[in-house]
Structure 1
Amino acid sequence: MDYERLKQKLVVYSQSIGVDKLRITTADPFLSLKDRLIQQQERGYASGFEHPILDERVDPSLSLKEVRTIISIAVAYPSKLANAPKSEKGSRRGFFSRSSWGIDYHDVLNDRLKKIEQFLFVECGTVETVRMVDTGALSDRAVAERAGIGWSAKNTFIITPELGSYVFLGNILTTLPFPPDEPIEDLCGSCQKCIDACPTGALVEPGVLNAQACLSYQTQTKGFMPEEYRSKIGNHLYGWDTCQLVCPYNKNKDHHQHEEMKPDPEKVKPLLLPLLTMSNKTFKAEFGHMAGSWRGKKPIQRNAIIALAHYKEESALPTLLDLLIKDPRPVIRGTSAWAIGKISKSEKEEKALEDAKKNEQDENVLNEIEKGLSFIREKK
């Protein structure tokens, strides 16, 4: 079979199904990546969301024994929200990062990859494949870098010359011996705007991310958010975009060619107060189709409470006081106590916190109640 010809045919087909860029690389082990991953773990920079088996993250043959090449794809997503609702006093709003706009990108890219697999089956008959989108063993970014989708930037994203870094990545391991593409030049140069703009110093050096300090990671944890990050997330409910927004290669990049990625303003910038009392069923109906819902409603509700404290939204106090007393989850009770202290200036809330302290059994919640009380007393 003429695999160069098949490759060109595949590129044309991929464009017809909504793939913005397709490149192919070898299935050689990612040996330099292994060294970086070991160093990341030793320095305590891993998020804990990564695939747990290191060798599987760097050796494609452990995911598909007879793998010959890897197909890497990029699908662009929007960066600007038209007709965004305003966040105003009495009706404050949160914000989901751009990676969570539209339908969950895992579903969108898996659909496109399935179509590519079917194309290969029709063209070649016998072929083995394995799809991966973000949750697979391999690093989608490492594959994309070696395939020439883009270069691995100082902010750790893949930057494509055509689309900037506003792209979702996916890949297919295949037993077909396609001719591989070449990597492209790293064009970051001396620019380090992303590093300078990172509010927590999570980008510790070019291309090295301390995931534990990244605000995107912090919005996705389920426990109490460390105090040092609460004042920094603002109204963000999920994810963080600053290191992409400041990148010169993303200037004027706004991709709306895919209907599935079209953001619903009321979903990506939702009212905060209704989130606090939303049932699981309602949360899934409203936000279940979005990538930002993958950790469930508790992290979103916790972040919404922090956002209301950021705004010092006094209309939220009755709901927060109710959560402090009635919510069965310590993280929500404790974060509510902290937020009450941030927002309130009155003796009414101070007394409510004192009363809650008498009945509270959880040490972490008691600690947050004390924080709330100290905030109120400092304002006197």
Structure 2
Amino acid sequence: MTSAQLKEEIVAYSKEIGIDKIGFAHADVFAELKKRLRLQQDLNYQSGFEESDIEKRTEPERLLSGASSIISIALAYPSKMKDAPKSVRGERRGIFCRASWGKDYHHILREKLSLLEAFIIEKVPGAAVKSMVDTGELSDRAVAERAGIGWSAKNCAIMSPEFGSYMYLGEMITNIAFPADTPMEDQCGSCNKCVDACPTNALVQGGQLDSSKCIAFLTQTKGFLPDQYRDKLGNRLYGCDTCQTVCPENKGKDFHHHLEMEPDPEIVKPLLKPLLSISNREFKEKFGYISGSWRGKKPIQRNAIIALAHFKDETAIPDLLMLLHHDPRPVIRGTAAWAIGKIGGENAELELLSAKENEKDDLVTLEIEKGLKMVRNQEIS
């Protein structure tokens, strides 16, 4: 069997196991990506979540001896939710981004790649393979672009004609030399909607992202959210979809090919107040299967507090006071103090002053002072 014939069989098998799109690329060094990553490092635009070794990210041979080809796979995920609950006064809700709907995509793609690996090894005993999804060394997007899955769009996502950018990506390096597919030409043209719509100007320009400003990154941090981004967060608990939802290429793209990707509305658009008192065990039982839970409950709780302040939900004050006076975590106490100040109310100043007297953490004290300033400004106006 020739490598071209094997490629055809792999493509056919990929459809059988539910892979929506597959592409093949050579495993040469990603020279252009290497230059971009070095620039990102120099500008301090990286998130810190990615592999820090640029050589590993751009040289497949370092990851698999004899690397000759890379197989890229894509699975389309839903962009619309059926029966989404409404966020109403007194029962405000947060939102997880679309990439966190349903079962954690890392598991779904790894299962598909494992099946693909077994198929290839059965056809070519002794073939070398190495698969990865998201947390691996290679850039999923760079591989997908080279393999013809889609073009690298201005919103820094891979955009395919069939599925838009609502795709999960994964890849497999192998020592088998497959005929490579042709990369797609950029089709964004003069459209700049994603760059213009970015809430924090994290999209510096088309195709360049300052990750440290990106809401998707900020929702995953564990410390105090910088002041300038709190009002930008809205009701987001994890991730951000703005640069995808404004994209004309994504209009009408909504695929429900995989049952395990279907969102549970009460999980991905949960009530905010119950999140403030949820235990670690309850959090893991309820949210543990989605990718948005990977950093634990603390960032989600912090974001829920900010979301309640965004809604100026006065019914949340008792819950926030409980956190302010009793939570052992400085970030949660401090963010609650800030939120109480933003929401205001007749007892807000007294409660914040009481908390300030007993507070030992300087950063929390600073947040209490921010809250007091907002309350006093409301009284003046």
Per the TM superposition, whether the score is higher than 0.5 is: yes
Equivalent residue number for residue 337 of structure 1: 337
Is residue 2:353 matched to residue 1:354? yes
Q: Distance in 2 between matches of 1:126 and 1:144?
A: 26
Q: Paired residue for 1:150?
A: 150
CA distance, structure 2, for counterparts of residue 209 and residue 189 of structure 1: 18
Taking the TM superposition and a 5 Å limit, the aligned residue runs for 1:264-283 are 264-283=264-283
Report 1:301-380 matches (<5 A).
Answer: 301-346=301-346, 348-380=347-379
Q: Which amino acid aligns with 1:166?
A: Y
Letter paired with 1:234: G
SS at match of 1:232: helix
Amino acid at match of 1:13: Y
Residue pair 2:344, 2:378 contacting (<8 A) in 1 also = no
Runs of 4+ in 1 over 4 A off after TM superposition: none
Counterparts of 1:290 and 1:296 in 2: how far apart (Å)? 11
> Counterpart in 1 of 2:106?
106
Q: Which amino acid aligns with 2:82?
A: A
Q: Deviations over 1:186-243 (max 9, x none)?
A: 1111111101111111111110000011111111110000011110111000000010
Distance 2:299 2:166 in 1: 24
Equivalent residue letter for 1:253? K
Query: How many angstroms does 1:177 deviate by?
Result: 1.1
The residue aligned with 1:251 is 251
Q: Give runs of aligned pairs for residues 165-180 of structure 1, distance below 5 A.
A: 165-180=165-180
Matched residues in 2 for 1:14 and 1:143: separation?
17
Q: Per the alignment, in what secondary structure is the counterpart of residue 92 of structure 2?
A: coil
Aligned partners of 1:200, 1:302: CA distance in 2, in Å? 19
AA of the residue aligned to 2:293? S
The percent identity for this pair of structures is 58
Note the residue ranges of structure 1 that are not aligned, 5 or more in a row.
none
Q: Is 1:345–1:379's contact at 8 Å kept on the other side of the alignment?
A: no
**CA-CA distance at 1:4 after TM superposition:** 0.6
Alignment of 1:175-190 (within 5 A): 175-190=175-190
CA contact (8 A) 1:133 1:140 kept: yes
Query: 2:179 and 2:323 mapped to 1: Cα distance?
Result: 59
Quick one: distance in 2 between partners of 1:121 and 1:209?
38
Instruction: Identify the residue that residue 163 of structure 2 maps to in structure 1.
Output: 163
Q: What RMSD over aligned residues (CA atoms) do the two structures have, in Å?
A: 0.7
TM-score (norm 2): 0.99
CA distance in 1, matches of 2:359, 2:157: 44
* Deviation at residue 171 of structure 1 after TM alignment: 0.2
- Deviation at 1:260? 1.0
Alignment of 1:1-380 (within 5 A): 1-346=1-346, 348-380=347-379
1:290-345 CA distances to partner (integer Å, 9 max, x unpaired)? 01001110000000000000011111101111101111110000000000001122
Determine the C-alpha separation between the residues in 2 that align with 1:122 and 1:165: 33
The answer (yes or no) to whether the contact 2:314–2:345 under 8 Å persists in 1 is no
User: Residues 103 and 289 of structure 2 are in contact (CA less than 8 Å); yes or no, is this contact kept in structure 1?
Assistant: yes
User: C-alpha separation between the residues in 1 aligned to 2:151 and 2:68?
Assistant: 22
Deviations 1:74-109 (A, max 9, x none): 000000111100111111100000000000000000
- Deviations along 1:224-267, one digit per CA (max 9) or x if unpaired, are 00011110111000000010001111000001011111010000
Contact 1:141 1:158 in 2 (8 A): yes
Deviation at 1:54, TM superposition (A): 1.3
CA distance in 1 between partners of 2:200 and 2:300 (Å): 20
Rounded Cα–Cα distance in structure 2 between residues aligned with 1:307 and 1:301: 10
> CA separation in 2, counterparts of 1:178 and 1:122?
16
Contact 1:334-1:366 within 8 A present in 2 as well: yes
> 2: distance between equivalents of 1:139 and 1:209?
15
- What amino acid does structure 2 have at the position aligned with 1:128? A
- Contact residue 217 and residue 239 of structure 1 kept, 8 A: yes
CA deviation string 1:340-372 (max 9, x = no partner): 0011221x2211110111111111100100010
Paired positions, count = 379
| Consecutive unaligned residues in structure 2, runs of 5 or more | none
SS in 2 for 1:377: helix
Q: Partner letter of residue 126 of structure 2?
A: T
Distance in 2 (CA, whole Å) between partners of 1:21 and 1:321 is 50
**Structure 1: which amino acid aligns with 2:41?**
Q
Matched to 1:25, the amino acid is A
Residue type at the aligned position of 1:249: E
| Letter paired with 1:357 | K
Contact 2:78–2:254, Cα closer than 8 Å, also in 1: yes
